[in-house]
Structure 1
Amino acid sequence: MSFHGKITTTAEASRTAAPAHTLPVYDARRLTDGEGTAMIVLDDKTYQLRITRAGKLILTK
């Protein structure tokens, strides 16, 4: 596969491209209320969001 366009950095793209819409932003530490774990419900299914000691996020069903 080849690419024949200009490579744009993220900083350049954010200056030149208008966002289609603004996405909501959530702070995972606030979601977990400082405890490192939160429950998230989607369509009657419950998921667990966990912050690991290494600062990674894990979402499990």
Structure 2
Amino acid sequence: MTATRPAEFSRPGVSVLSRLPAHDAELLTAGGNQALIVLKDQVYQLRITRAGKLILTK
């Protein structure tokens, strides 16, 4: 028995990533370099480094 891919993954030209929500990190940080992100009762810190990389820490 072989597994088959769902139709949405096998259509040419349809990217799974194109259907995900996208957020601008600079807007999340209000033009700064840090923001807090809350998930349930956990708080995470999003930081933009000088090199333009993102770091997410708990």
TM-score normalised by structure 1 residue count: 0.67
Q: SS in structure 2 opposite 1:30?
A: helix
What are the superposed Cα offsets for residues 8-52 of structure 1, whole Å, 9 maximum, x if unpaired? xxxxxxxx2324571100000010001110000012100000000
Residue 17 of structure 1 corresponds to 13
- The answer to whether residue 43 in structure 2 is matched with residue 46 in structure 1 is yes
Q: Percent identity?
A: 59
Q: SS in structure 2 opposite 1:26?
A: coil
TM-score normalised by structure 2 residue count: 0.70
Residue 56 of structure 1 corresponds to 53
Which structure 2 segments of 5+ residues have no match? 1-11
Which structure 1 segments of 5+ residues have no match? 1-15
Runs of 4+ residues over 3 Å off in structure 1: none
Aligned length: 46
